Chain A
């Protein structure tokens, strides 16, 4: 199908974009990569009256900046760039690990990291990554919203009406932290039936000091679970990831849909937690060898 008619705005500055969004109020929607929005328009699942196209704001929103504390991804940074950026990968390997699983390369050429986050699809990878890193989204009007407060429900965030997210800020993880992203989908590039991002931090004796995981497609929002109770204090090579999987399983209540039963999703939570735990440690050669 074809998208419904809308009033089109093409601001030339973030300030102007914000004003347009404020004027449009609940009728307005931001167009960045459009890889989630345009399908919804084409299928007439959404019909915003006004679209504010931020694709010309590359100067203000196109930067990906890595510093000692964070990776800051501007609202016009496409997935493909987040995935390929070597400095971002060195600072936070989880970003590339997860972004590689976002749809297909062709979609990643156009879709944006920040757009995926504020779209808040419970099956999407980047919202879970932001949550797992205790990240935040910065607003054009100043201030930021912490990931923990951002995801309210499926496709629903606490971003105020008329506000524009200008960047996602991913804090870097503590030293001796390994990460992994694993997921299962029916076909390559499909939304995951279940996906897990996991971080595990070792102490100086190479015992697990902290482990956390964020799960997608098993609830209305990405679900963060602290696994330290199951694996904390254990030597890195004998950590009981099966126990971590069991702990995660008891903490989620996925629903059944056409793609998978709730039981199958619970099974995946267990299996993928184990896989992610081992994989995260395997990326820490310099620490564990």
Chain B
């Protein structure tokens, strides 16, 4: 069988420009994990249901498992690794998840952190109900969600008092 045709794809990931050569069918999730070795993005269901692979595409949460890398050539991606604080160390959302026990096994956490990071930029002071709605597209099989909702509210508090994205 002939080698599969590849395409040059330029992506800015967490502020760093990358160019990779990938087949058209390379999912953005696999491009991040395999080609760029950014394994903070987790792949759960691979059909858009679980939310673990959520990344920010030009700032908006999208499912990286439902996006072809070639299709987003030239765009910016923020992954879990990009949700650190500007000074290094945990970002406000990551810190809140740690403080509030918003994770157990941690598999779903990258998807929550990216989703919540974008959500709090739009809604810096959400109600518990709004927080619940914001994470409606992310599955967690460990926590029962109560502590994740608390984490969202705590992250909002951290952002308000200490700044940060």
Chain B residues numbered 100-151 whose CB sits less than 8 Å from any CB in chain A: 115, 133-134, 136-137
User: Which residues of the partner chain A approach B70 to less than 8 Å between Cβ atoms?
Assistant: 8, 10, 53
Interface residues as binary, A75-117 with B (CB distance below 8 Å gives 1, 0 otherwise): 0000010000000000000000000000111110110000000
CA–CA, A105 and B116, complex, Å: 12
> Considering only CB atoms, which chain B residue lies closest to A43 in the complex?
B47
Closest-by-CB residue of B relative to A35 is B66
A 1-56 contacts with B by CB, 8 A: 1-8, 10, 31, 34-35, 38-39, 41-43, 51, 53, 55
A96 to chain B, nearest CB (A): 15
> Are B62 and A106 closer than 8 Å at their CB atoms?
yes
Given A2-B27, A34-B71, residue A8 in contact with residue B48 (CB < 8 A): no
Most buried by A among B57, B63, B115: B63
Q: Which residue of A lies closest to B73 (CB)?
A: A10
From residue A5, how far is it (CB to closest CB) to chain B in Å? 6
Contacts of B23 in A (CB 8 A): 5
Tell me the residues in window 14-61 of chain B with beta carbons closer than 8 Å to chain A beta carbons.
23-25, 27, 30, 46-48, 51, 54, 57, 60-61
Verify if B4 is at the interface (C-beta below 8 Å from A).
yes
Question: Quick one: given A2-B27, A5-B25, A189-B137, are A39 and B48 in contact (CB under 8 Å)?
Answer: yes
Q: Which residues of B contact A42 (CB under 8 A)?
A: 27, 46-47, 65-66
**Chain B residues packing against A (C-beta within 8 Å):** 4-5, 7, 23-25, 27, 30, 46-48, 51, 54, 57, 60-63, 65-68, 70-72, 115, 133-134, 136-137
Interface membership of A188, Cβ < 8 A: yes
Which residues of B have CB within 8 Å of A107?
48, 63, 66, 137
25 contacts between A and B (CB under 8 A): A1-B46, A2-B30, A3-B25, A5-B23, A6-B25, A8-B7, A34-B67, A35-B48, A38-B27, A38-B48, A38-B66, A39-B48, A39-B66, A42-B27, A42-B46, A42-B47, A43-B47, A51-B24, A53-B68, A53-B71, A80-B60, A106-B61, A107-B66, A109-B60, A109-B61
Of A53, A104, A106, A110, which is in contact with the most chain B CB atoms at under 10 Å from its CB? A106
Q: Determine the main DSSP class of A at the interface with B.
A: loop
Q: How far is the CA of A51 from the CA of B134 in the complex (A)?
A: 32
The 8 closest A-B pairs by CB, nearest first: A104-B137, A8-B24, A39-B47, A38-B66, A188-B136, A106-B61, A109-B60, A3-B25
**Bound CA span A38–B4, Å:** 19
* Distance between Cα atoms of A259 and B30 in the complex (Å): 32
Q: Which of A38, A39, A105 contacts B137 (CB 8 A)?
A: A105
Range class of the A interface residue count? 20 to 34
In the assembled complex, the Cα of A189 lies from the Cα of B24 at a distance in Å of 29
- Tally inter-chain residue pairs, CB-CB below 8 A: 85
CA distance A106 to B53 in the complex (A): 11
The residue on A at minimum CB distance from B1 is: A5
What are the residues of chain B within 8 A of A39 when measuring CB–CB? 47-48, 66
Within the complex, the shortest CB–CB distance from B126 to chain A, in Å, comes to: 13
Starting from the known contacts A42-B47, A42-B65, A107-B137, 15 additional A-B residue pairs (CB-CB under 8 Å) come to A4-B25, A7-B24, A8-B70, A31-B68, A31-B71, A35-B48, A38-B66, A38-B68, A39-B66, A43-B47, A55-B72, A80-B60, A106-B115, A109-B57, A189-B137
Within 8 Å by CB of B66, from A1, A80, A105, A110, lies A110
**Which residues of B are found within 8 Å of A38, using beta-carbon distances?**
27, 48, 65-68
- Whether B137 lies near A110 (C-beta < 8 A) is no
Q: Which residue of A lies closest to B56 (CB)?
A: A109
Shortest beta-carbon distance from B30 to chain A in Å: 7
How distant is the Cα of A38 from the Cα of B25 in the complex, in angstroms? 10
Greatest chain B CB density within 10 A among A3, A105, A189 is at A105
Q: B137's closest neighbor in chain A, by CB?
A: A104
Residue contact A105 to B134, C-beta cutoff 8 Å: yes
Residue in A4, A34, A106, A188 whose beta carbon sits within 8 Å of that of B54 in the complex: A106
A38-B67, A106-B51 known; A5+B4 contact, CB < 8 A: yes
List of A residues within 8 angstroms of B4 by Cβ: 5
- B72 contact set on A, CB distance < 8 A: 55
